[in-house]
Copies of this chain bind each other. A is one copy, B any other.
Amino acid sequence: MPDGRPLRADAARNRAKILEAANRQIIARGPEVPMEAIAEDAGVAVGTLYRHFPTKDDLVTAVLHAHFESMVAAAEAAADRIEAGAPAIDEFAGFFRFVLELAAGNMAVKAAARALGADWEEDLLRGRGLQALERIVAAGIDRGDLRPDMTLDDCFLFFATAPIDQPAPVRERWFTLMLDGCRADAARRTG
């Protein structure tokens, strides 16, 4: 809660414990975990959860924020490396593999991706992340790595369609197919 006042020592401690527990629980069991479960994991009463996060949604959002941050950071790092000379296609692949694997072990991110659907671009990616992606795609096309008709929207397909709940080999295979579909020489009329 955005008060001016600083948190009392115990309150700060609990807030941290709650965030940790929420992270643990939500990642493991998805955003539908009961607040009770989070409270128990945190060693705190439900009421305390609500003191720190007025609504369950607030808590979930808080947990997700960190994960989205790391995705954006990864995108920026990839874009930087490309512009520093690294092979565009490798960075492109590397970034999406990172995102894929992050989400794979993370029911929260998974569910969020579903729920937000076409919306999450609004929030986080329509910012730093969006820019970084643009840089990646542009360079990829420029260097003849990615198909010329590749767009930013195609990147969202990567996020939105990853078979996150499938076992690793399946994910890997999907990644191969999808990436091959994005390569420069894959483009053609599908009509």
| A interface, CB within 8 angstroms of B | 93, 117-118, 153-154, 156-157, 160-163, 165-167, 170, 173-183, 185-188, 190
Contacts and interface: CB of A to CB of B under 8 A. Distances in A.
A104 B161 CA distance: 14
Given A160-B163, A161-B162, A182 B173 contact: no
Contacts of A167: 118
Q: How many copies are assembled?
A: 2
A188 to B, nearest CB: 6
Contact of A181 (B93, B153, B160, B186): B186
A167 B119 CA distance: 13
A170 B160 CA distance: 11
B185 A185 contact: yes
Nearest to A157: B174
